[in-house]
Amino acid sequence: EPEVTQTPSHQVTQMGQEVILRCVPISNHLYFYWYRQILGQKVEFLVSFYNNEISEKSEIFDDQFSVERPDGSNFTLKIRSTKLEDSAMYFCASSATGPYGYTFGSGTRLTVV
């Protein structure tokens, strides 16, 4: 069964450093998303991406965050200068049909120290 692949599975970074979280969506999907889940809390929407541009972003997705689809297969989330409160599990998802058929990746656990 096709799956969304995220790397790395766990990343530890120092506060103030830049991190790039990588995702390989399902190949024929057109909609891409990032969500995050702070430990013990609910899953929160960060950003959606369609047709090579951001279609929606949450208030969490401030200027420190950016997304890119640098080639035909990868979808990345960059956090420019990490803060302690960025520590969370970050999930990538892709869909062929918008909100009706999401497939989530297994997540990247980001720990900012």
Q: Which is nearer to another protein, 40 or 71 (CB)?
A: 40
Task: Tell me the C-alpha distance between 95 and 35, whole Å.
Answer: 14
Q: Nearest to residue 87, comparing CAs of 65, 108, 111, 64?
A: 111
Q: Which is nearer to another protein, 39 or 84 (CB)?
A: 39
By CB under 8 A, the residues from 79 to 98 that bind another protein are 89, 91, 93, 95, 98
User: Which one of the spans 20-28, 55-63, 64-72, 78-86 is the region binding another protein (CB under 8 A)?
Assistant: 55-63
DSSP-derived letter for residue 84 is: G
Please report whether residue 61 would count as binding another protein according to CB under 8 A: no
Task: Tell me the C-alpha distance between 100 and 50, whole Å.
Answer: 15
Q: Which residues bind another protein (CB under 8 A)?
A: 31, 33, 35, 42-45, 48, 50, 55-56, 58, 89, 91, 93, 95, 98-100, 102-107, 109
